[in-house]
A and B are shown apart, each in its own frame.
Chain A
Amino acid sequence: MELLAFGKTGWGDELFYATLMTIAVSITAMLIGFFFAIIFTPLKLSKYKSLNLIGNFYTTVIRGVPELLVIYLFFFGGSGAIMYVASIFGYFEYIEINAFITGSMAIGIISGAYSTEVFRGALQSIDKGQFEASKVLGISKFTQFYKIILPQMLRLAIPNLSNVWQITLKDTSLISVTGLVEIMRQSYIAAGSTRDPLFFYSFAAVLYLMLTYLSMKIINRLEIKYSRGY
């Protein structure tokens, strides 16, 4: 137990901050994922074949390739790509991107592919009559989406989005290979310096279980909130 003490003697405070880092990366990645989903869901549902192709390419490639490979692409290719863009604008110095940004971008793009599929499924299962009825009532496209379609979509999407959240949370453990100090990396450091890997990795597992358990509780509440009236 003294291994987990807070302060200089134990690893408690380090692991606590690492847990906060895992939560921060997960939330950032989830939001980046939503951003991608907002772009790619309309593409997948578009009338035009070429736009469909772009949307399908994104979701198929990302969901068919291991997460670790995507992370390596970002880790090794990220600063190169940024430097290439910067060189177009006449900036030739070395640019190093923060591990947090690379990591959450990589996980965000992965989570975005899953979110896109969820949103597409939810949007497709809304009754056509809802769109037609709001059109007949003369409601503008914007209000139609925000006041009629979106609330119904959320009810259908939240259970599946909770799965996406769980996947994203667990995927953040893979960012440890890039050196960002989250739960997995911190446990690796602690296990290395105390020579007690069994304890620290088991503790990491407990931390992840706690995070998944707590997020399930919160999501269940959201689910109840959005399914009022059903």
Chain B
Amino acid sequence: MDFDLMFTSFPKLIGATVVTLKLLSVSLFFGLIIGLLFAILRLNKNIFINKFAYGYSYLFRGTPLLVQIFIIYFGLGQIEYLRSTSLWIILKEPYWCAIIAFTLNTGAYTSEILRSAFQTIKPGIIEAGKSLGISNKIIFYKIQIPIAIRQSLPAYGNEIILMMKGTSLASTVTLMDLTGVAKYIISTTFKPIEVFIVAGGIYLFMTFIIHNVIKFLEKKYSFSQ
């Protein structure tokens, strides 16, 4: 055991954790919006809209995240037309490419989680709202969405943890996140176990925090109080 290396690499890895957290928070924020949008599209009665939303989630859940990042980072640069548009300012940056890939990926999973939450809302609750003369729009925003969010908290907590692990793939497109820096230290010092313990410890700590925050929220918003 090389404890010196563990001590010297710790500040570097903590610095890289900031990149990981940035990637995670930005992609979760946009992913939640996309997820909610597609969950609503999935509940639409129009078969084309419905199938489109299903296709999106099937495509992104059926392929590895690595392929999605590579298509966006290496693949899209190949299209001549894209290079001439202003979109290229975003797409030439590995940071934004990673965020786009993570956002679309977590959006697909989130849409599935929210859809099943919407479908498990008891019809009686909506009927009760209707019989009180509340408009459909308000039933949706004030009754269905809050219940669905509460219902999907445990599954969404898992998704946040999965996404946190997913951000490690940003290191494959030259971003120096926690895994990227860990790999760099391993390949220069050839001490994989020490670095794994420190980097893995930081990841586990983040998992622990996320897990407990979700648990707290679950308790706070539980139905039976």
Contact = CB atoms under 8 A, between A and B. Distances in A.
Interface of A: 60-61, 63-69, 72-73, 76-77, 80, 170-171, 173-174, 176-177, 184, 187-188, 191, 195-198, 201-202, 204-205, 208-209, 212-213
A41 B91 CA distance: 46
Contacts of B66: 173-174, 176, 184
Contact of B200 (A61, A174, A176, A202): A61
A174 B170 CA distance: 12
A65 B186 contact: no
B46 interface: no
A212 B67 CA distance: 14
Contacts of A76: 186-187, 190, 192
Contact of B193 (A60, A68, A77, A201): A77
B200 A65 contact: yes
B78 A196 contact: yes
Most buried by A among B59, B62, B165, B193: B62
Nearest to B65: A170
22 contacts: A61-B200, A64-B165, A64-B200, A66-B167, A68-B168, A68-B179, A69-B203, A72-B196, A76-B192, A171-B64, A184-B66, A188-B70, A196-B78, A198-B74, A198-B78, A201-B75, A202-B75, A205-B68, A205-B71, A208-B62, A212-B62, A212-B63
Nearest to A69: B179
A173 B62 contact: no
Nearest to B169: A68
B9 interface: no
Most buried by B among A80, A176, A205: A205
Contacts of B186: 72, 76
A10 B47 CA distance: 39
Contacts of B169: 68, 174
Q: Lowest 5 CB-CB distances: which A-B pairs, in order?
A: A66-B168, A198-B75, A77-B192, A173-B64, A64-B207
B182 A69 contact: yes
Contacts of B200: 61, 64-65, 69
B89 interface: no
A212 B59 CA distance: 10
A212 B62 CA distance: 6
Contacts of B196: 69, 72-73, 77
B199 interface: yes
B75 A197 contact: yes
Most buried by B among A66, A80, A202: A66
